[in-house]
Amino acid sequence: MKKEPFFWVTISCGIVIMAFILLPLIEMMTAPSLAMLKETIKDKDVVRSIWLSIYTAGLAALISFVLGTPLAYLLARSNFTGKRFVEGIIDLPIVIPHPVVGIAILGVAGKNHWIGQIFSELGIRIMGSVTGIVIVLTFVGMPFYINAAKNGFESISPRLEKVSRSLGASMFSTFFRITFPLAWRSMLIGIIMCSARAISEFGAVVIVAYHPMIAPVMIYERFEAYGLKYSQPVAVWLVTICLALFLILRILTLRKPREE
């Protein structure tokens, strides 16, 4: 059968996009020599900043999980006036430019705001601290978790929960015996998306906390101070470690659930 011209258009566009995404990445990954990569990973500052990136992003995902799950469930299960509005607010951090997020958070965390004053009296520092980084990363990552978890809950028939209740299970038992076992995959995907988004954040973090230095800030600093050649090995290590982590999580989620 002769293929239609439209078919060739779709194929060509696909190839252009694949090349557009992969070429720069492959170029970057292959640029530094093995010796250079070895030397970079021996650098204590590099290891410290990559570790900081990973664990602040992980903490952001954990906070999103704890605080976001009940809200995601509520949004999936009930209809109330203003629900669209709440959903819009949750999506706000996705559309706000990153430096603006940093400035906005500093606005409430600074000395001129009562929240900032409470924090400082409690001895919690936001500016230039790990706490500040985690707050910023949670802000930008949370929407991804909530939306993924919400989709997961929505895909479970409410009738399963109703049957469970009628058989004598309380709401808590129902959640842990029925809803959670059926939704955890979506929740895990949400956690991956949330932490991936958090690890990639630069603009907002650089305003709130230049130091301690997360990996993206360090890459930027090395690029500014020493040039492309010195920033590439750090970037390669960050990308490799993150990809490896996400791959492991993905393999866990992709294992076929027995109910499908």
Identity of the residue, 178 or 241, whose beta carbon is nearer to another protein in the bound complex: 178
Is residue 219 within 8 Å of residue 238, measured between CB atoms?
A: yes
Report the nearest approach of another protein to the CB of residue 159 (Å). 4
Query: Which residue among 127, 149, 182, 194 contacts another protein (CB under 8 A)?
Result: 182
Report the nearest approach of another protein to the CB of residue 62 (Å). 25
Is residue 11 involved in binding another protein (CB under 8 A)? Answer: no
Size of residue set near another protein by CB under 8 A: 22
Taking CB under 8 A as the binding criterion, the range among 51-59, 84-92, 220-228, 252-260 that sits at the site for another protein is: 252-260
Taking CB under 8 A as the binding criterion, the range among 104-112, 158-166, 224-232, 238-246 that sits at the site for another protein is: 158-166
Is residue 24 involved in binding another protein (CB under 8 A)? Answer: no
48: Cβ contacts below 8 Å, ≥ 6 apart: 212, 213
Taking CB under 8 A as the binding criterion, the range among 4-12, 138-146, 166-174, 223-231 that sits at the site for another protein is: 166-174
Q: Which two tokens stand for residue 142?
A: 């949370």
Query: Which residue among 13, 47, 163, 243 contacts another protein (CB under 8 A)?
Result: 163
Is residue 254 involved in binding another protein (CB under 8 A)? Answer: no
Query: Which residue among 9, 19, 160, 228 contacts another protein (CB under 8 A)?
Result: 160
Query: Which residue among 2, 3, 44, 159 contacts another protein (CB under 8 A)?
Result: 159
Query: Which residue among 155, 170, 226, 254 contacts another protein (CB under 8 A)?
Result: 170
Is residue 29 involved in binding another protein (CB under 8 A)? Answer: no
Per-residue 3-state assignment (H helix, E strand, C coil) for the chain: CCCCHHHHHHHHHHHHHHHHHHHHHHHHHHCCCHHHHHHHHHCHHHHHHHHHHHHHHHHHHHHHHHHHHHHHHHHHHCCCCCHHHHHHHHHHHHHCCHHHHHHHHHHHHCCCCHHHHHHHHCCCCCCCCHHHHHHHHHHHHHHHHHHHHHHHHHCCCHHHHHHHHHCCCCHHHHHHHHHHHHHHHHHHHHHHHHHHHHHCCCHHHHHHCCCCCCHHHHHHHHHHHHCHHHHHHHHHHHHHHHHHHHHHHHHHHHCCCCCC
Query: Which residue among 157, 228, 243, 247 contacts another protein (CB under 8 A)?
Result: 157
Residues forming the site for another protein (CB under 8 A): 79, 157, 159-160, 162-170, 173, 177-178, 181-182, 257-260
